[in-house]
A and B are shown apart, each in its own frame.
Chain A
Amino acid sequence: MDQLELLKKNWKKLDHTLPKLSQEEISNLIHKKSSSIVKWIFIISLLEFIIPFFLLLFVDFDEYSETKALGLYNFSIAFYTVTYIVIIYFIYRFYKNYKSISADTNPKVLMQNIIKTRRSVKHYIWFNLAMIPIISLVTLYKKFRTPDFLEKLPEGTSMLLVWFLTFVLVAVIITLTWLFYRLLYGILLHKLKKNYNELVYSNGDDCG
C-alpha cells in the first residue's frame, strides 16, 4: 500500500489520542504574546527607519551654522527637504505593506507580502547609504577649502592623502552598514525565502 494511504487510513483515528484543550485553556492562550516573525520584522524595520532619521536630525542640527559659513545653506535645505520627503514616502509604503501581511491569505501571498515589506525597507537602506557619500563629500569638499581647515593641517600634508583617507572612511562606513543590514536581512528572511522558492518553483530542485 502507498505510504500516504496507510497514514490517511490512520489519520482520522488519531482524533481521540490528541490533546483536548478546554475553553478556559484556549482563553488563556489567546492572551499570550505572539512570537511571530512578522512582529520581529515590524520592530526591526521600525528601528531601521528611526535610527537613520535621528542621525540625520543630529547632523542637521550640528552643522546648521557651519553650512551657512561654508555657503552650503541652499544645498542643505534642498538636500534635507528631498530626504525627508523620500523618508515619509518610504514610511507610508512600509506601513501599507505591513498592513497587507495577514495570516489568512494563502502561504504564497503571505510570503510575497513579507518579502515586499522587507524590500521596501531594503530600498530605504540603499537610499540612506547613497545619501552618506553625497552629503559628506559635498560638505567636506567645501570644508577642506576653508582657511581654518588648511591652517590646522600639518605642513606638507598632501590634499590627495586627505581625500584618499576621506574616501576610505566613507567606504568603510557604507560597507559596515551594508554588512550589518545583509546579516539582519539574512537572519530574518532566510527560511522564508527558501520556503517561498520551493513553493513557487516546481522545476529544478532535487527531490532526493
Chain B
Amino acid sequence: MTEELEHRFIADLEQHQNIVHKVCKLYTNNKDAHNDLFQEITIQLWKAYPKFRGEAKFSTWMYRVALNTAITLYRKSKRTIKTQDFDSVLFKIESSEYDDTEEQQLQLLYKAIHHLSDIEKALVFLYLEDKNYREISETMGISEVNARVKMNRVKNKLKKIVNP
C-alpha cells in the first residue's frame, strides 16, 4: 500500500515538478538554495500526500504545500552560500531565442522579485500561473479585496524597483 502510494506520488510529482521548480525560482537566487528548497517542498508534499483525496486538482494542492513551505516551513540552510546567480544561468540558455532588450528586462524583473517579501512572491507566483483573484484569495486564505490591494502594491513596487 505504502509502496503503491509512493509510486503514485513520484509519478504525479515528476509530471508536475515544474510548479515546484518555479516556486523555487522565485524564492531562491542560486542553484544550491534552489535544490535545498526543492528538497524541502518534496518532503512536505510527500508528508501531506496521504491526506490528498483528489478533491482538488493535484496541481492546485501542490501550490498550497509548495507556497507554505517557501513562506513558512522552510528554514534556510546555512550551507547555501551565494554562488553563481541562478537567473543568469537560466537566461543565458534562453537569450539566444529572444532579443536582448527583452531578456535584459526579464533579468532585471527576476532580480526585482527577489527583493519582494515572501508573501508578495507568493502573489506574483499565483498571478504568473494565471490564477484569478478568487483563486489567489482561496489559495492564500485572504479576502479577494485584500488580494487585489496587495497585488496592486506589488505591481507598484516592481515598477519602482525596475524604473527607480
Residues of A within 8 A of B (CB): 2-4, 6-8, 10-11, 13-15, 17-23, 26-27, 29-30, 32-38, 40, 102-111, 114, 191-192, 195, 198-200, 202, 207-208
Contact = CB atoms under 8 A, between A and B. Distances in A.
Given A7-B124, A30-B43, 16 more contacts: A3-B112, A4-B155, A6-B102, A11-B128, A15-B18, A23-B11, A29-B38, A29-B43, A34-B43, A34-B44, A36-B75, A107-B140, A109-B141, A195-B117, A202-B150, A207-B157
B74 A37 contact: yes
Contacts of A191: 118
Contact of A106 (B45, B93, B138): B138
| In the complex, the 7 A-B pairs of residues with the closest C-beta atoms, listed nearest first | A108-B141, A106-B141, A36-B73, A30-B46, A18-B21, A104-B48, A207-B153
**What's the dominant secondary structure at chain B's contact region?**
helix
Interface string B76-90: 010000000000001
Interface residues of B, number: 70
B106 A195 contact: no
Nearest to A114: B72
B51 interface: yes
Contacts of B68: 103-107, 110
B134 interface: no
**What's the dominant secondary structure at chain A's contact region?**
helix
Contact of A202 (B64, B139, B146, B157): B146
B124 to A, nearest CB: 7
Nearest to B106: A10
Contacts of B140: 106-108, 199
